[in-house]
């Protein structure tokens, strides 16, 4: 015997689904290899999100809870030239024999999310502490291109911080950084440093000198 959903529950489910799917899904990335000759054969991939989005980490434009997977953005690639990386946030290394392979990397932190494709990094969600690396603490409710990074091949997002690796081997970190310095067996200093924009790892010693601490030999 079939049971009908109660009216309040049905309204919540319907509202969640319709809110997440209404409106046009933005085109976030278009492969530069797509032209007038092969445009009809291009394939559209959709980035989907669901779950708790109280900080905008679902990328749907508002703070919401999504019960079902719903589209966030479209990615346009040539036919049969893409893959999803098995490692969160990492794009696969291309083989010399297959230079046309495009890889998509997705990483999710506690309150923010990231997408890597074509060497570009898009971030969205909570911006407190500079999590998004955009140079300020404002949130982003839709995927937003990070203007400070290029040639990104890997991104890892945590609860309060973010780390990216470029194809050149450069490591960038941003958001809250805790530095623990042992002055003596009894006293220790903890520095709470906030980087609102990506900071290359080799520049950490500059931050130590800025706070009047003698540079530590590596």
pLDDT digits (tens, 9 = 90+) for 141-193: 999 999 999 999 999 998 888 999 998 889 998 987 655 555 555 555 555 56
Phi, psi of 208 (to 5 degrees): -65, -40
* Average pLDDT estimate for 18-26: 62
* Mean pLDDT score, 35-50: 87
Place of tokens 């669901």: 50
pLDDT above 50: residue 1: no
pTM: 0.72
Query: Which string of DSSP letters, residue by residue, matches 153-212?
Result: EEEEE-SSEEEEEETTS-EEEEEEEEEEEESSSS-EEEEEEEEEEEEEGGGHHHHHHHTT
pLDDT above 90 coverage of the chain, percent? 40
Q: pLDDT for 118-140, tens place per residue?
A: 999 999 999 988 999 999 999 99
SS3 201: helix
pLDDT band at 33 (very low <50, low <70, confident <90, very high): confident
State the pLDDT at residue 59. 94
């Amino acid at each position: 015997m079939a049971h009908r959903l109660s009216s309040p529950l049905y309204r919540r489910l319907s509202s969640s689904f319709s809110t997440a799917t209404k409106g046009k899904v933005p085109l976030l990335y278009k492969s530069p290899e797509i032209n007038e000759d092969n445009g009809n054969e291009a394939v559209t991939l959709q980035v989907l999100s669901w779950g708790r989005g109280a900080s905008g980490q679902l990328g749907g434009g508002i703070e919401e809870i999504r019960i079902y997977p719903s589209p966030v953005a479209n990615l346009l690639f040539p036919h049969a030239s893409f893959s999803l990386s098995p490692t969160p946030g990492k794009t696969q290394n291309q083989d010399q024999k297959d230079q046309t392979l495009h890889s998509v990397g997705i990483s999710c932190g506690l309150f923010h999310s990231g997408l890597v494709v074509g060497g570009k990094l898009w971030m969205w969600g909570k911006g407190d502490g500079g999590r998004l690396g955009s140079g300020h603490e404002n949130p982003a409710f839709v995927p937003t291109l990070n203007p400070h990074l290029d040639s990104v091949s890997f991104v890892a997002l945590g609860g309060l911080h973010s780390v990216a690796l470029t194809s050149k081997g450069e490591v960038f970190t941003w958001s809250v950084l805790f530095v623990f310095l042992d002055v003596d067996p009894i006293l220790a200093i903890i520095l709470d440093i906030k980087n609102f924009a990506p900071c290359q790892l080799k520049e950490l010693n500059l931050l130590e000198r800025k706070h009047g601490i003698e540079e530590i030999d590596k």
